[in-house]
Amino acid sequence: MIRKMTVEDIPDVQQIAHTAWQHTFQQHIPTEVIKAYIERTYSDLMLKKQLEKTMVLLAIDELGNSIGYLSYTPIDVDGESELTALHMLPGYWSSGYEEALLKEALVTLQEAVNVDVYVDQNDIALQDFYAKQGFNFVESFPELFEGVSVNILHYSLPITQPAHT
């Protein structure tokens, strides 16, 4: 089941984020950097603010457990939206829930010109997922993440054609 996140879901999202980040990046980013980032970015206050500014969808398994989430921005004046996070508990990757989350998000983004996503080059599973969903590679660029050098890959999914004026 896919549903909108509520304030009551904050502890579940924090757990998913912590587990997913550790699983995905522990080989590339020091544990203390990940921990500090998660504590700051996924604090109760920050997640409440995120709920006000973005849409957050939660994936719930057949037992009623929160197993993943996807967040994205509203369509901006240029007709663009950005997927800001897609995290799944490690045992649930390739189970279909990530596709269900994306599909639900795209239903609300039908009027967008395109949807962008930025993926760390070390997150191979996410790169493969977006490529299989029709996202096109746009560019790669270096970035400092909490003082650690990372390489970011930009993907974009065209949704509608802009009107010609």
All domains of the chain in start order, with CATH: 2-158 (3.40.630.30)
Instruction: List pLDDT tens digits, range 89-110.
Output: 999 988 999 999 999 999 999 9
Q: What pLDDT sits at residue 154?
A: 98
- How is residue 160 annotated by DSSP? S
Low-confidence ranges of the chain (pLDDT < 70): 161-165
Distance CA 55, CA 22 (A): 24
Query: How far apart are the C-alpha atoms of 112 and 94, rounded to whole Å?
Result: 26
CB 92 within 8 A of CB 67: yes
pLDDT (tens digit, 9 = 90+) per residue, 119-143?
999 999 999 999 999 999 999 999 9
Predicted local distance difference test score (pLDDT) of residue 162:
55
User: What distance in Å separates the CA atoms of residue 119 and residue 140, rounded to the nearest whole number?
Assistant: 9
**Amino acid of residue 55:** M
As a whole number of Å, the end-to-end CA separation of the chain is: 41
